[in-house]
Chains A and B, each alone.
Chain A
Amino acid sequence: MANAWYSRWSDNVLRKVTPTMPVGALLSSNFPLTHLVDEAPASLCRLSGTTCRFVWDKGIATKIDWATIVQHNLDAGLSGVLFQGNASDSWGAPSLSAAFTIPSADADGFRINPRLDLTGIGSRTFRYWSLTVSVANSSALSFGEIMAFGTKRVQTPNVSWEVETQEERAVVHMPTKAGAGGAYDEGVWQRELTGEVDCSDAEATELRTWYRDARGTARVFAYVPDGDVNDAWIVKFGMPLRRRWSFLDRNLYQFRLVEAARGINVE
């Protein structure tokens, strides 16, 4: 188990940077490339094929420490899902190439968002970045969001023990007069994490910066609850950031993270 990772909202260097797609084609114009970077995981970029390459031109060399693929339909264990960086838009032998490990799907078909740590690679500052699926997926590709962060931030101190997480499936239950009844599943999950951080005044500064960078509950960012577990959440703050001064240079901060809507898995 390792400390949680988090990103500030502003860390996402791919936000609103629409990539090109030299490999692959859109399923329709209603699933455009802009959906990959619109901070809305539930709006999809759907392709007609099973392989692809997206390329981002940042204009200047830009550092990326870690990345995640959100609301995808990649097969568990699919090889060839590579995140690459290069000084030029040429991908035969890019300077950086690292593979995502694609986890298994949940029992209900929802996928886990894999995270890829690049900090072990020395040089990771490039103008061009690319995500490629070079090995055919079992079905036509679909992505909700591609996010990449200029700084890997490890939550220090970590969220305290007795953190609570909650998962809820939206279901409309309908009991009848006979006591029997059915239900309609709305097909969506919502996950939450509620916790506390016990920190010094200096450590609290970063916490506050993180909150303000997200404009409170307005903007999304990434959070990996356990740094050792390949599972990234895209979340927003779900409540005001509450601080309790417990002693000199000791603060108790309460926070809640609410997962951004992933939409309905219609596959």
Chain B
Amino acid sequence: MATTVFTKAQWLSGTEIMTPWIEFSLIDYPAGAATVHRWAKHAHGDVSNWGDQKFGQVRSFGRILRALSDRDGQILASNFGFSIEDDVDPVGGVGKLGMALSDANSQFWYNRIARVLMIGSSGRAAVDDAKVLARGFVTSYSGRGDHTYDFTCDDWLTSEFSPFASKVMLPRRVFSTVQHGSTLPVANRGLPEPVVFGEITDIPDGINKGAIPSIYVGEETISATTWHAFAFAGHAMKLFTKFYSGSVEIGSGQFGVDILAPGFTGWPFAQVYRDRVGRRYTLVYLRGPLATGAIEGTAPLTANGQGIESVGDGSGTLIDSVPLQFYHLLVNFLFQDYQTGAWLSNPIFSPAEPTITKINAASFTQVHNDHIARAPGGVGYYRGAFILGASGFTEAREVIKQGLINCDCNGGFDDDNAFFVTTDDGSTTVADLDETDILAGPVPVEPDMATLGNVIPYVWKFPYTEYQGASSSARRTAASVDAWRAERRADDLELSWIRDDVTALSNANYVAARKKDPERLSRISVPLYGLHWPLGSKIRISLVERNWALRVFRIVQKELSLDGFTVELMIRDMTATPVSATTTTVPYDSRTGLGSSSFTLDPTSEVTVVALGRPSPGGGSLQFGVRPNAGTDVEVPEAVDMEIDWDASPGFNAYFRVRAKTQDAAVSAIPKIYDVTGAPTLAQAGAATTSVTPASQVITLARPSLGGNKIYRLYITRGSNTNAAQVFAACTVKLAP
């Protein structure tokens, strides 16, 4: 049977009798007996197609709310509520719900499923299925003193990761002696078991030291020989390309002798994976000096390779499209807990509705196709490569946020209450509206200037080993700066799942295109047939009073009111402006003038101010490197500007203590101090260093003869272009005689 549809013609005719109702499945504990309560505003007795008898106990339906994630990737809850008048026996004064609440077995209301359904008289005549308007889990209820109960139901994501559920940190699995035995080092027990997506490698960057870390998990006897096992992943990986011991490539002659690795000579097992007590791993075994160095940390074992593939045993196709990786992560590692064997299936909402899944799989494929349409270059789609758990645990909602940011898409809950994703450019137009459709609004909304962003700094290629730094850059939309007479730096776009230059560039450019104009939001109210327009889709509005002709908007929020049979939409104006979306590359930390991250030295006392990049996960420093052409001076990422009031500090000089290093002694690093009060000019150059560990030097800047206020910035260049080594610098500064 077809699912019923609500149309404009029905509404205009006024003949449609709308009958929404609530279904609440109260499941007892421990027996599990289910009592299905069906409540409507007005009682009616249907045939079983539409759920039999509904009792007229709904005092109000509340609002059914769905919204897309916000600009920062935060998922907004999809929820609904309703108020029920208890069926009170006028003689006994006891209500059925009140009795259920006080009964030992039926008092468990939390996390029970509630649905809202509706059908009209046209649908009944056609024997259609009722439309399910919302599904959710009871996350709160409260009884008022007048035998009325107020329920709130949330989407399953909020329900599973709500304050009632423990905070889920990912990866879920941790290294344990259950799987690895007593030789698992104490320090490694409880560490997250990594999940590796995509191709993680530093070979194309010319570094070739291994981008995938390993964790020592203890000893194993193989053919009467004791080997030391190192885990690269808590699942099967597709393949490895190279292995390294302390950044030195392990030669082919050592495989089968001192190293056993899947896919390499001497691997003694039929499968590329190892199953240990119900869990699947990718392990590599070492012995001799290789093992000693890796265990002691003097020569860590790293690798380059490919992670999760489509089957679960290493034989399938590498999953390297970011949205498909996101989907795979959600199914196997966030909403479920993969252990071993084949990958898990999309979870269903409940056994009562086995065809309704919790995740809209097709939407992730659509986002993948949207990326293809963007023609990013490279492999032709958004290529992702990341390791979940390499840098510790991440809270589940943060993982979802990262997925949305890296896919450059919005997330939310569709009309089946399944989690779905959607892009701006991939959304389709579903309806044209005019004055005959709009009950209220549009509420005029001025552009929100806080949402303007015409400099988009972005970072990708996040390092998982100490041998590689992240890359960074920024996109600047000059036309936006000119049009709005303001240069606004957006928050850093952290593309932690991306290790591909063209993918990062495409992502940043689409963010730039979206933020080049401030956001315009509006609200309209339409009749019930608006509920069929999917969240994230586009509508076109023609209004004479606004001089709008098929003006395009995207639906970012839907609120259905069953008390008034209206749908309130929050819509975002998608109409193109004359502001060109063309961007240019600017340094990651490009600023004009004194920004909020600069500071002023106080010469009345000797002040030391730190200005340097964030520490790397390994505990070192100077994380953000650059690779300028020799002779080209570039700003050091993350370094802040330093303002000196020379007139307030007579007789003082400025001493910049600079720590610089290079990735390769063949390419020297040369730090410099620039005066950026006006156009950037070199104030003082430092000495070239070929040290691969941070080496200190002092760059002295004498007080200028004319004094005044000056702003200084740390720059760096390379001594040669011999190879692809990056250079790093950090700096402190003080005034002293």
Nearest Cβ distance between residue B33 and chain A, in whole angstroms? Answer: 14
**A27–B47 touching, CB < 8 Å:** yes
**B528–A263 touching, CB < 8 Å:** no
Closest to A263 in B: B43
Stretch at the interface among B6-14, B24-32, B272-280: B6-14
Knowing A176-B437, A178-B436, A218-B90 are in contact, say whether A185-B42 is a contact too (CB < 8 A): no
In the complex, whether B438 has a CB less than 8 A from a CB of chain A is yes
In the complex, whether B55 has a CB less than 8 A from a CB of chain A is yes
Which residues on B sit within 8 Å (CB–CB) of A266?
Answer: 19, 44-46, 124
In the complex, whether B52 has a CB less than 8 A from a CB of chain A is yes
Nearest Cβ distance between residue B75 and chain A, in whole angstroms? Answer: 32
Nearest Cβ distance between residue A110 and chain B, in whole angstroms? Answer: 12
Which residues on A sit within 8 Å (CB–CB) of B53?
Answer: 30-31, 35, 43-44, 46
**B56–A186 touching, CB < 8 Å:** no
Nearest Cβ distance between residue B56 and chain A, in whole angstroms? Answer: 5
Which residues on B sit within 8 Å (CB–CB) of A174?
Answer: 11, 439, 527, 564-566
**Interface members, chain B 642-696 (any A CB < 8 Å):** none
Nearest Cβ distance between residue A217 and chain B, in whole angstroms? Answer: 10
In the complex, which of the residues A40, A142, A174, A218 has the most CB atoms of chain B within 10 Å of its own CB atom? Answer: A174
Q: Which of the residues B43, B528, B565 comes within 8 Å of A264, measured between beta carbons?
A: B43
By secondary structure, the A interface counts as: loop
Which residues on A sit within 8 Å (CB–CB) of B565?
Answer: 172, 174, 184
Knowing A174-B11, A186-B18 are in contact, say whether A264-B42 is a contact too (CB < 8 A): yes
**A30–B52 touching, CB < 8 Å:** yes
Knowing A175-B439, A266-B19 are in contact, say whether A31-B52 is a contact too (CB < 8 A): yes
In the complex, whether B48 has a CB less than 8 A from a CB of chain A is yes
Which residues on A sit within 8 Å (CB–CB) of B440?
Answer: 177
Nearest Cβ distance between residue A33 and chain B, in whole angstroms? Answer: 13
Closest to A236 in B: B90
- What would 11 A/B residue contacts be, using CB atoms closer than 8 Å? A30-B53, A43-B43, A174-B564, A177-B439, A177-B545, A182-B8, A184-B14, A218-B90, A261-B56, A263-B44, A264-B19
**A187–B17 touching, CB < 8 Å:** yes
Closest to B55 in A: A43
Q: Which of the residues B44, B52, B438 comes within 8 Å of A176, measured between beta carbons?
A: B438
Q: Which of the residues A175, A219, A263 comes within 8 Å of B56, measured between beta carbons?
A: A263
User: A170-213 vs B: 1/0 string, CB under 8 Å?
Assistant: 11101111101111111110000000000000000000000000
Nearest Cβ distance between residue A237 and chain B, in whole angstroms? Answer: 13
In the complex, whether B638 has a CB less than 8 A from a CB of chain A is no
Nearest Cβ distance between residue A111 and chain B, in whole angstroms? Answer: 14
**A42–B436 touching, CB < 8 Å:** no
Nearest Cβ distance between residue A134 and chain B, in whole angstroms? Answer: 23
**A186–B438 touching, CB < 8 Å:** no
| Known contacts A42-B43, A187-B19, then 4 further A-B pairs from the complex at CB < 8 Å, ordered by chain A residue | A46-B45, A181-B439, A186-B17, A187-B17
* A-B contacts, CB under 8 A, total: 114
Which residues on A sit within 8 Å (CB–CB) of B566?
Answer: 174
In the complex, whether A215 has a CB less than 8 A from a CB of chain B is yes
**B43–A182 touching, CB < 8 Å:** no
Q: How far is A44 from B46 in the complex, measured between Cα atoms in Å?
A: 9
Nearest Cβ distance between residue A146 and chain B, in whole angstroms? Answer: 15
In the complex, whether A28 has a CB less than 8 A from a CB of chain B is yes
In the complex, whether B16 has a CB less than 8 A from a CB of chain A is yes
Chain B residues near A (Cβ < 8 Å) = 8, 10-19, 38, 40-48, 52-53, 55-56, 90, 121, 124, 434-440, 527-528, 543, 545, 564-566
**Interface members, chain A 96-115 (any B CB < 8 Å):** none
**B437–A40 touching, CB < 8 Å:** no
In the complex, whether A65 has a CB less than 8 A from a CB of chain B is no
Which residues on B sit within 8 Å (CB–CB) of A183?
Answer: 11, 14
Q: How far is A171 from B11 in the complex, measured between Cα atoms in Å?
A: 11
**Interface members, chain A 31-57 (any B CB < 8 Å):** 31, 35, 39-40, 42-44, 46
Q: How far is A265 from B19 in the complex, measured between Cα atoms in Å?
A: 11
In the complex, which of the residues A27, A40, A44, A172 has the most CB atoms of chain B within 10 Å of its own CB atom? Answer: A172
Closest to A143 in B: B45
Nearest Cβ distance between residue B121 and chain A, in whole angstroms? Answer: 8
**B90–A39 touching, CB < 8 Å:** yes
**Interface members, chain A 3-46 (any B CB < 8 Å):** 27-28, 30-31, 35, 39-40, 42-44, 46
Which residues on A sit within 8 Å (CB–CB) of B40?
Answer: 264
Closest to A39 in B: B90
**Interface members, chain A 249-267 (any B CB < 8 Å):** 261, 263-266
Q: How far is A46 from B18 in the complex, measured between Cα atoms in Å?
A: 21
Nearest Cβ distance between residue A58 and chain B, in whole angstroms? Answer: 18
Knowing A30-B53, A261-B56, A264-B17 are in contact, say whether A40-B435 is a contact too (CB < 8 A): no
Q: How far is A219 from B88 in the complex, measured between Cα atoms in Å?
A: 11
**B42–A186 touching, CB < 8 Å:** yes
**B436–A185 touching, CB < 8 Å:** no
Closest to B36 in A: A30
Q: How far is A42 from B17 in the complex, measured between Cα atoms in Å?
A: 16
Q: Which of the residues A176, A186, A219 comes within 8 Å of B435, measured between beta carbons?
A: A176
Q: Which of the residues A172, A182, A265 comes within 8 Å of B564, measured between beta carbons?
A: A172
